[in-house]
């Protein structure tokens, strides 16, 4: 194998073997500047009626090689392991068969979902939900959003990898069923323990229903750390699932997640969710699927905010499985409330004091006040995520974003005045029962620093795990909540999009009745944006960094989140 790799990649040194599968071996390779992985796949074509001569066998090998490249061209993108190049080496053709090796140069991923779950069990509910959501989005794209439809027949935790910037990606592409494929990877590639009953017992073809069942098993593993009926073999496991369904040991799983996984693991294909679009709708939590309770085990490596039941105007929320009334005292730190119009989630930030700009301040940035005196901040509710394109569209009826990528991506390219218009319309939708505004800079920084802690980035010091910025964003914003939250359970306050800040007042619609003059007429008036963006360097993502913008201009790097006002 080393000789084969050296023929294709002579400048690389060969490290350890990373894995051995049915269809090939994977090695780590490296040079002075980077590390990669390389997979070596043997190809063998036997003589047949349709390929009976050496010339026909030779042609078929070449066709298969180009089919692999075309196949990857169709599936590459978000959620798929990055492939850098393909090589066909050591081709030998006779009258009886054709042999060759396919060498694939690809991204090096050092961890997989199997090890991540076992090493960090139990995962925090927020992280588990995000993993389910990310995987469903990948599978939706593969099965519905591209010209050629693909189904993953070998979906299992060990084939789901974490890239260097913590993206979840499908790492073994051999299990994707496609229209044209290399001969070494047939449609029969699957793992018994992670496959649907009709696929194993009835020889049914791979399809949406079998992919949904495997997704249910992986989701169950994410929460429980093992397969259902772990001690049974796969035949007995399927029999028990048919007879009894599945049950859960963890008490902190949201009811809608339990119901979703049980539906995905229905024994009969007709009883499962019809596709991954439906699964994503359930994961996003539509009105009839609200989480009834979530608590957070102390063992969890992440401790995001406790979830909430829908409370309307009562000030009722849930923490650690018990209901508390917020009328006599402030909510506990990190409690979550949802507005009744968009189900937008707000996290409670407790009152306190902090000194702005001291989270690693240096000459590259300047706090919003030039003072070493602490600032007192009253408790307030702030959006757990930036306002999304889907939320904007529901209120405004359009999507102004430069990156028009989907409902779960932050809206951007909106001016300060646009955001105020959104807020006024949102309040009108609730008949003015709730009052919203843009956070002041003090509120924004205090919340970003997990209630005033000395945090360089929102949540800690490892920006790669906390936010999307120039080095890991691929020069584009990303879906909300795909990085780790800060200590209050608030996401994306360092990177992804910068966020407009306000002055602490509810916007007056009369203020934005303009005379039709130039958008540059108020060029001397500036409003602050905070938090850094997908196009920012590390310094600009620090919690105290600020930048001033003209209020009537929109920017592809600038979005917003809102606060609920008293």
Q: Which residues are annotated as a binding site for ATP?
A: 39
Secondary structure (3-state) at 352? strand
Beta-carbon contacts of residue 550 (< 8 Å; ≥ 6 apart): 519, 520, 522, 523, 525, 526
CA distance 262 to 246: 6
* Tokens 């306190």 -> residue: 352
Closest CA to 489 of 478, 481, 498: 481
State the first-to-last Cα distance of the chain, in angstroms, to the nearest integer.
Answer: 67
Strands 558-559 and 498-500 come out as parallel
Q: How is residue 332 written in tokens?
A: 């506990």
Q: How many CA atoms lie within 13 A of 4 on its CB side?
A: 22
* DSSP per-residue string spanning 250-268: -TTS-HHHHHHHHHHT-SS
* Residue 122 preceded by cis peptide, ω within 30: yes
Binding positions are 39
What is the SS3 assignment for 391-412? HHHHHHCCCCCCCCCCCCCECC
Closest CA to 135 of 243, 52, 208, 212: 212
CA distance 385 to 495: 12
Query: How many C-beta atoms lie closer than 10 Å to residue 165's C-beta?
Result: 14
Closest CA to 564 of 438, 406, 455, 475: 438
* Tokens 């000459």 -> residue: 363
- Indicate the Cα dihedral angle 123, 124, 125, 126, nearest 10°: -120
- Indicate the Cα dihedral angle 203, 208, 214, 218, nearest 10°: 170
CA dihedral for 172, 178, 182, 183, sign (positive or negative): positive
466 close to 458: Cβ distance less than 8 angstroms:
yes
Beta-carbon contacts of residue 450 (< 8 Å; ≥ 6 apart): 458, 459, 486, 487, 488, 490
């Amino acid at each position: 194998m080393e000789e084969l790799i050296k023929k294709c990649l002579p400048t690389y040194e060969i490290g350890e073997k990373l894995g051995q599968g049915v269809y090939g071996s994977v090695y780590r390779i490296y040079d002075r500047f980077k590390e990669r992985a390389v997979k070596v796949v043997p190809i063998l074509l036997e003589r047949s009626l349709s390929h009976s001569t050496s010339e026909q066998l030779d042609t078929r090998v070449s066709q298969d090689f180009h089919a692999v490249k075309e196949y990857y061209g169709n599936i590459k993108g978000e959620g798929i392991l990055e492939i850098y190049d393909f090589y066909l080496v050591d081709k030998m053709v006779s009258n009886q068969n054709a042999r060759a090796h396919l060498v694939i140069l690809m991204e090096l991923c050092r961890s997989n979902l199997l090890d991540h779950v076992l090493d960090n069990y139990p995962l925090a509910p927020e992280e588990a939900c995000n993993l389910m959501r990310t995987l469903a989005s990948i599978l939706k794209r593969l099965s519905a959003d591209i010209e050629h439809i693909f189904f993953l027949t070998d979906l299992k935790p060990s084939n789901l990898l974490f890239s260097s910037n913590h993206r979840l990606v499908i790492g073994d592409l051999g299990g994707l069923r496609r229209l044209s494929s290399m001969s070494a990877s047939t449609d029969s590639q699957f793992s018994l323990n992670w496959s649907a009953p009709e696929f194993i017992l009835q020889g049914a073809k791979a399809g949406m229903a079998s992919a949904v069942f495997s997704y249910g098993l992986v989701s169950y593993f994410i929460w429980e750390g093992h397969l259902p009926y772990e001690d049974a073999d796969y035949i007995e496991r399927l029999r028990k699932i048919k007879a009894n369904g599945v049950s859960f040991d963890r008490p902190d799983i949201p009811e809608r997640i339990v119901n979703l996984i049980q539906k995905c693991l229905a024994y009969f294909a007709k009883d499962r969710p019809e596709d991954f679009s439906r699964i994503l709708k359930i994961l996003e939590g539509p009105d009839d699927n609200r989480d009834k309770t979530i608590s957070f085990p102390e063992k969890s490596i992440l401790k995001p905010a406790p979830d909430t039941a829908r409370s309307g105007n009562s000030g009722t929320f849930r923490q650690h499985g018990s209901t508390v009334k917020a009328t006599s005292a402030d909510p506990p730190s990190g409690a979550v409330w949802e507005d009744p119009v968009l189900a937008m989630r707000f996290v409670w930030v407790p009152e306190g004091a902090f000194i702005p700009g001291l989270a690693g301040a240096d000459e590259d940035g300047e706090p919003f006040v030039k003072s070493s005196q602490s600032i007192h901040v009253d408790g307030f509710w702030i959006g757990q995520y930036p306002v999304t394109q889907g939320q904007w569209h529901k209120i405004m009826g359009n999507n102004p974003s430069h990156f028009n990528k989907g409902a779960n991506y932050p809206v951007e390219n909106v001016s300060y005045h646009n955001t105020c218009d959104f807020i006024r319309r949102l309040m009108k939708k609730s008949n003015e029962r709730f009052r919203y505004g843009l956070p002041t800079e003090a509120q924004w920084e205090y919340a970003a620093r997990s209630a005033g802690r000395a945090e360089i980035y929102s949540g800690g010091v490892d920006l790669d795990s906390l936010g999307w910025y120039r080095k890991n964003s691929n020069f584009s914003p990303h879906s909300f909540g795909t990085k780790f939250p800060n200590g209050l359970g608030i996401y994306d306050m360092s990177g992804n999009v910068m966020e407009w800040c306000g002055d602490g007042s509810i916007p007056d619609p009369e203020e934005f009745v303009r005379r039709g003059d130039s958008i540059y007429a108020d060029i001397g008036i500036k409003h602050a944006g905070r938090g850094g963006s997908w196009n920012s360097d590390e310094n600009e993502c620090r919690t105290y960094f600020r930048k001033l913008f003209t209020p009537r201009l929109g920017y592809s790097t600038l979005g917003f989140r809102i606060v609920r006002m008293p």
